[in-house]
Amino acid sequence: MKFRKTQGSPEPEINLVPFIDLLLVILIFLMLTTTWSRLTEINLTLPVADAQKQTERPRHIILTVTSQGQYAVNKSPVGGTSVSALAAVLAPLAAKDVTLIISADASATHQAVVNAMEAARRSGLSQITFATQSAEVPGS
């Protein structure tokens, strides 16, 4: 009798081809079932305030922002459109109970209004409100 040496069992292999095929099928399925939406523009309709007029106003400062980005504090023009120039004008007027009313033109840029808010922050004004135009009810 001739005895043969027993060879060890072959090393197990992982076959990647079926795995790759499965991933490609899943990828195709996801591409076909996913809805692709494109957000190009957000249409906004800004609100109009519909509140009663305030009968008594506390101490306030009216900051007007024109459509050209120029500022006026209590109807006095500010010499410059920078944040620091506006803050220099607002700082002496700042007090504990003073409210800043920002009255911006409808066609004023957002940057001009943000600059006005930054100048108010720098000068220590913490109570800020915006002037709005009341909505006209048809037939009244």
Average pLDDT, the chain: 79
With a cut of 60, say whether residue 41 has pLDDT above it.
no
Query: Average pLDDT of 30-57?
Result: 64
60-130: CATH architecture: 2-Layer Sandwich (3.30)
User: pLDDT-derived band of residue 4, with 50, 70 and 90 as boundaries?
Assistant: low
Query: Average pLDDT of 66-82?
Result: 85
Instruction: Compute the half-sphere exposure of residue 87: CA atoms within 13 Å on the CB side of its CA.
Output: 13
User: pLDDT-derived band of residue 27, with 50, 70 and 90 as boundaries?
Assistant: very high
User: pLDDT-derived band of residue 1, with 50, 70 and 90 as boundaries?
Assistant: low
DSSP letter string, 13-44: ----HHHHHHHHHHHHHHHHH-----------
Give tens-digit pLDDT for 83-115.
Answer: 888 888 888 887 777 888 888 888 888 898 899
Q: Which amino acid makes up residue 18?
A: P
With a cut of 60, say whether residue 44 has pLDDT above it.
no
132 vs 45 pLDDT, higher one: 132
Q: Are 116 and 71 in contact (CB under 8 A)?
A: yes
Query: Average pLDDT of 17-24?
Result: 93
pLDDT > 90: percent of the chain? 11
CA distance 36 to 23: 21
